Amino acid sequence: MRHVLAPLGRFGWKLGPHEPKLYALYAGALTLWVACLFYSSMRYQTLQSELWAAPHTFDAIVSADRNGAWSAPLDDVFIHFDFARATARGFPFQWSEGNGYSSGGTSLLYPFVLAAGYLIGFRGLQLMVWAAIVACVGVLATLLAARRLFQGLPLWTSYVAPVALLAVGALNWTLFSGMEVAMFLGFWGGALVAWDDVRRAAAEKTATRGHGVVLGLASVLLVATRPESALVVALLGCSAAWAVRRAHGLTAGVWTLGLAGIPAALVLVAQSLANRALTGDSTAAGALVKLELHHPHLTAADVWNAWVFHLKYQVLRVTHYHFSDVPALGWTVWILAGVGLLFRSTRRFAAVLWGSAILWTVVVSLNGQVRWQNERYSMPAVAWLLLAAGVGLAALLAHGFAPGRAPLRRRLVSLVPAVVLASTFAVHQAPRFRDQLWFFGRASRNIFDQQATAGWVLRKFDPPPQRVLLGDAGAIPYTSDLPALDLIGLGGYQGLPFARATRLSAAAGIELIEHVPEATRPDFLALYPSWWGVVPMWFGRSLAEVPVRGNVICGGASKVLYRADWSPLEHSGEPFSAAPDERLVDAVDVADLLSERAHRLQVRPKHAGYVDMKILADPRAPRKGLFDAGRVLAPGVELDFEITGLTPNTEGRLLLRVAPPQPAVFTVHLDGEVLERVALEPGDHWQEHPIRLPAGRVHEAARLRVVPESGELILYHVFVLQNAEAPPRASAP
């Protein structure tokens, strides 16, 4: 047996300069084969959808031997398409043309890459073809760069990389989904090569600054594609700088760190400043919507517990489900990935892969949606773990087939575990791979059947909608090509903080609709009724619904289309209890985040202050409903805000709009002193409780504090009134 293994160990590729071409051909062919498997599943399923919609076309379709339409397995793919189309039309960083800057995209760079495809003719659903091309190029770039991981091993072992990366169905699902992950990994491959060049130059005592510049450019591309990669960039930059410091001294190390990290940091800072200037929030809308760190009702302990839960979830879900149909056998990937750390020739690269996977997982564990959409947020870490497993497997094979006179038993110690672990993984991954192929096609069909079709249906209304309010900022606005407003906030609209508002409650989101001019308010709604409680019932009239068959990815069985009715918002910001001789000086619309921000409103404790809403009869026109949303205050929860514009030393009144569901007692403090103690009786109608402002306590600005003592109080509005004959406060020169 030893005489059989020795020749295999000496086997090498003797193609000279042609060998890299062979590897590229091999990696490219495997990439295209896997991509075709997934896209064939998609188009087979969308063909079934077309046959259901028009059974009479069966014979024509069969005789033409054609496939179904292109689609995507995620509505989020179409969010990128929305941004890309707007970019191609001259509206960069806008989700819906005319809505203004949006920070809701998960990638700054990817929409520009897609926009290039749109401009050269990939329009409509054909933009998914361009996304598929970009994905294949990204995967191939990753595999070409991955050869560096095997440089301490025989050349033939690098042929393990393509199989390792493309072995898991769930990762392929994400890579070819139309999202930016494949492109991101391609840029990571470039960063890996630049990082290795820096380290090799340092080891050879040659110049490193040029390689540091390349690493910095690759890092810019990484964070511009996925900002979550900041820690991965830091890992590459710091480790490269450490190697340079050891070879050339501290100054050279600091230069390398700056070249590698500062450009990427500047991109992140510039994005944050742009967000702040154009939306009022430095944090991106996607982070506000998805990260538990920004959940308004979670304490620090709650955020920590959620992070721990999501961290465990990712590890166990990927291992017990995506890696194997037998949960315990999913750990074979981890074992092989750990092997790379045992061999000196592979330890450095294995450590980088492990570090990247760990840091990525640590960051995305803050994402409350990491459990959804086939765990797509975890997939970059899965890619690095699989490459680490490939390095470990290659190390075992190289040790087993090494030329020389090593005893047979030493070779078998490497070969037997390699064969057993690899074959065990392959056998038990195969069912999961098949499941993912089916899931990819079915999810793509679901999006085509419901989301894309809903857009086409909206387009057919006569006259077409002027603007559509929706909660899925993807396929519906893309296929309809109509102006839209995303209630969740990913789309962005004229700087209004929908992302932060709707995270509080749908009621806070509706409050912001009052700031949209009536002429441009959405006149249609496209919503899942189960997502939004009473919102569709209160503000819409059902017109049609678009169902989905065999749903595995959509948010509901039917997307319902409504004619919008915003009449309950009319006059909500006007007091109905003001006397004829009183003028409105100031008004605090509680639960309206713009009004709260203007009045520096604070809820204590900050994780309290839940939002609720009501529509009750308008006392001025009892046949009409009047909408208002407010903060829920109970004993232990206080509301503190500022009122301005008062004429000093002039008597006035406060009107507190309430509709008490139960008896409640609270005190109102003016500039730290008790102004009045109020007892409310329950009543299912709007009340505006008056509180006198004595002339001697009235200043140009004041702080008010509402402190509940018993019962539950929902405060909807605070109006500040003074005598109309009182001279208004002179404006500052």
- 279-302 pLDDT, tens digit per residue, is 999 999 999 999 999 999 999 999
3-state secondary structure of 106: coil
According to DSSP, the β-strands at 540-547 and 558-564 are antiparallel
Is the pLDDT at 731 greater than 50? The verdict is no
Task: Kindly tell me if the per-residue pLDDT of 72 is higher than 80.
Answer: yes
pTM comes to 0.92
Residue-wise pLDDT for 630-686, tens only, equals: 999 999 999 999 999 999 999 999 999 999 989 999 999 999 999 999 999 998 899
Say if residues 478 and 455 touch (Cβ distance below 8 Å).
yes
pLDDT at 1 > cutoff 50: no
Q: What is the pLDDT of residue 546?
A: 94
Residue 413 predicted with pLDDT over 80: no
Q: 487 φ, ψ to 5°?
A: -65, -30
- Name residues whose C-beta falls within 8 Å of residue 159's C-beta, 6 or more positions apart in sequence: 23, 26
In terms of C-beta distances under 8 Å and separation of at least 24 residues, what long-range contacts does 130-135 make, across chains too? Answer: 131/72, 131/77, 131/80, 131/178, 132/35, 132/39, 132/176, 132/178, 134/182, 134/183, 135/35, 135/175, 135/176, 135/177, 135/178, 135/182, 135/183
User: Cβ distance 549 to 538 under 8 Å?
Assistant: no
**pLDDT tops 70 at residue 511:** yes
- Residue 701: is its pLDDT beyond 70? yes
Specify whether the CB–CB gap between 447 and 72 falls below 8 A: yes
Q: Which of 672, 686, 677, 675 is nearest to 715 (CA)?
A: 686
Whether the ω angle into residue 463 lies within 30 degrees of 0, i.e. cis, is yes
Judged by phi (left if over 0) then psi (alpha if -120 to 50, else beta), residue 200 lies in alpha
> How far apart (Å, rounded) are the C-alpha atoms in residues 129 and 117?
9
Report the mean per-residue pLDDT for the chain: 91
Q: pLDDT-derived band of residue 724, with 50, 70 and 90 as boundaries?
A: confident
